[in-house]
């Protein structure tokens, strides 16, 4: 049978899920009292703010009362108090708000290199409030040799990164990549999250990856808090590299490119604290020149596919506008993507639509239009976390359809206990284009552990992943150890192919998880996967294979 060609998720159905899918209800903390003391603190004037920035290891705890942990604390430069203070949304003299206190804690956890952050309050004898901001640092200098293996490809990463330079929350990195499947390259990056102490962000990148060499400078003013009304970003990149063309695991062609990209965005939002309407204006200038197009196979079918897939030179401007509506709250969990640290997740729903038109360099006439819509619904109920996202984008000129891209992703996490979490992800993607290019790939890096990186290509793809994530009490020198058992299932195919469920590919296996949460929130993942195609294969990475936050 022809599978999934009639699968078109009705937008009305998804919006209905978004608006009325209260299968899960979000847990709400008390907004009126201090959770520790039970004393009403909402609306009480703040007399003073104290920053208590704790070092990485609590050496007063017997588990960390060892030379190596004391040495780490001594070598580590703690986050500066003013660095923490500038993330706060409450100041001396303000009336205390539990919402703003919780948001301040999230800002610190998300923007600074800390293991955890929270706010405590104490009622003073004068009837005012002492607000204490407590943070626990992470070790911020990492590096050495990192080994990854995914999709039967091996990569070594050698270098170092500092995520909290001298306690000022600046990011610096330099890495050298040695890879089995391509040329080696270097990557270096600098990120200043508070340029000159203000609410501006500066990013500088240089990467000479043979597939995508990038020189980049970006200046932005992100949304630092929910009360902020506008944001902007300007991103300038010089690009070059190589594009490979695959057909079911075979590299049938390659071409090289160079060019420039300038992107700019301005966003303005309004509404109440937890419900926002956002208006966005964007402009993109892109120039790309393709050269040295090579066909690597002699087969007539592969030659025709490569010729149809080779990119053309392009120079265009794209101007767009979008509007979105979000109603959201937040939940704090653990043992989802990481071990014991606090993980922040957004709950609620999101609906957005956008439209853009592309123009030639002289703005006479136009190339094509782009229109899209997206919707998301996120739930939590005690031990459950669920996410549903749907997006559809079309490229067209008049009545002529050029391309349409659809994705539907569902994620579900269930904490059965403090020791085990069941994690599920299912994704359907469709990418049709007039030229017949197969832009979708499935393999070791895109949903199927135990398979090559470019195992199958097509313009349709389904992936299902299931994991049992096991958390143990085993800890060695602050490294936390866990395990996983998993199953991956899916396929990529062309829209004109006949496909049955027996044609789908599967892999299963077990893995080791190591958390270095005093250093990084990213777990080390070592998976041993079995598939009929490749037998037993090793998959190694520094992230969960799929994550709730991405």
Domains of the chain: 1-24+313-319+329-345+370-550 (2.40.160.50), 46-137 (3.10.20.310)
Q: What pLDDT is attached to residue 532?
A: 87
What's residue 252's pLDDT? Answer: 87
Pairing mode, strands 201-208 and 213-221:
antiparallel
Q: What is the 3-state secondary structure (H, E, C) of 124-179?
A: CCCCCEEEEEEEEECCCEEEEEEEEEECCEEEEEEEEEECCHHHCCEEEEEEEEEE
d(CA 417, CA 408): 29
Say if strands 250-270 and 170-179 run parallel, antiparallel, or are unpaired. Answer: unpaired
DSSP 3-state of 72: helix
CA angle 347, 265, 196 (to 5 degrees): 90
Within 195-236, residue ranges assigned H as helices are none
Write down the pLDDT at residue 1.
30
Q: Among residues 339, 294, 300, which one has the least CA distance to residue 469?
A: 339
Q: How far apart are CA 142 and CA 151, in angstroms?
A: 26
From residue 289, how far is each of 235, 258, 322 by CA, in Å? 20, 5, 29
Mean pLDDT, each 10-residue run in order, the chain (550 residues):
34 37 38 55 94 94 91 94 95 95 95 95 93 96 86 88 94 94 93 94 96 96 94 97 85 91 97 95 94 82 75 87 96 91 94 96 91 97 94 96 96 94 97 88 91 90 96 90 96 85 91 90 92 88 86
Number of neighbours of residue 451 by Cβ within 10 angstroms: 28
The predicted pLDDT at position 150 comes to: 79
């Amino acid at each position: 049978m022809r599978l999934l060609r009639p699968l078109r998720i009705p937008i009305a159905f998804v919006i209905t899920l978004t608006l009325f899918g209260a299968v899960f209800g979000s847990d709400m903390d008390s907004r009126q009292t201090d959770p520790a003391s039970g004393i009403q603190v909402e609306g009480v004037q703040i007399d003073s703010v104290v920053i208590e920035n704790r070092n990485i290891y609590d050496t007063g705890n017997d588990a960390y009362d060892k030379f190596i942990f004391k040495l780490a604390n001594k070598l580590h430069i703690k986050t500066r108090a003013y660095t923490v203070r500038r993330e706060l949304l409450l100041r001396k003299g303000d009336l205390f708000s539990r919402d703003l206190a919780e948001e301040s804690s999230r800002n610190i956890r998300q923007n600074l290199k800390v293991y955890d952050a929270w706010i405590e309050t104490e009622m003073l004898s004068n009837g005012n409030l002492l607000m204490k901001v407590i943070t626990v640092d992470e070790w911020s200098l990492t590096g050495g040799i990192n080994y990854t293996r995914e999709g039967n490809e091996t990569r070594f990463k050698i270098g170092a990164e500092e995520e909290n330079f001298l306690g000022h929350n600046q990011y610096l990195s330099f890495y050298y990549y040695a890879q089995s499947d391509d040329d080696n390259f270097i990557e270096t990056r600098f990120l200043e999250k508070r340029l000159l102490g203000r609410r501006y962000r500066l990013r500088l990148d240089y990467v000479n990856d043979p597939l995508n060499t990038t020189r980049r400078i970006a200046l932005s003013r992100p949304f630092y808090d929910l009360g902020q009304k506008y944001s902007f970003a300007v991103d300038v990149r010089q690009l070059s590299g190589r594009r490979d063309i695959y057909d079911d695991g075979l590299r049938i062609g390659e071409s090289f490119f160079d060019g420039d990209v300038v992107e700019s965005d301005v966003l303005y939002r309004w509404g109440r604290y937890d419900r926002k309407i956002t208006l966005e204006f964007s402009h993109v200038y892109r120039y790309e020149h393709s050269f040295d197009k090579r066909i690597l196979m002699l087969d007539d079918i592969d030659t025709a596919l490569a010729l149809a897939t080779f990119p053309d030179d392009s120079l265009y401007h794209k101007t767009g506008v979008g509007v979105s509506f979000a109603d959201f709250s937040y939940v704090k969990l653990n043992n989802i993507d990481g071990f014991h640290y606090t993980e922040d997740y957004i709950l609620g729903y999101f609906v957005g639509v956008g439209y853009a038109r592309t123009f030639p360099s002289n703005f006479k006439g136009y190339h094509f239009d782009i229109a899209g819509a997206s919707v998301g619904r996120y739930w939590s109920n005690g031990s459950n976390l669920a996410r549903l996202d749907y997006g559809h984008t079309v490229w067209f000129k008049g009545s002529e359809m050029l391309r349409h891209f659809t994705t539907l992703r569902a994620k579900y996490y269930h904490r059965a206990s403090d020791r085990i979490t069941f994690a599920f992800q299912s994704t359907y993607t469709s990418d049709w284009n007039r030229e017949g290019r197969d832009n979708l790939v499935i393999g070791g890096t895109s949903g199927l552990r135990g398979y090559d990186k470019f195992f199958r290509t097509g313009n349709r793809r389904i992936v299902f992943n299931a994991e049992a994530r096991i958390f143990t009490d085993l800890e060695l020198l602050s490294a936390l150890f866990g395990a996983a058992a998993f199953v991956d299932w899916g396929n990529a195919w062309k829209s004109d192919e006949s496909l049955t469920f027996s044609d789908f590919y599967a892999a299963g296996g077990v893995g080791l998880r190591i958390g270095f949460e005093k250093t990084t929130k990213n777990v080390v993942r070592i998976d041993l996967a079995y598939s009929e195609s490749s037998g037993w294969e090793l998959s190694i990475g520094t992230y969960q294979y799929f994550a709730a936050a991405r």
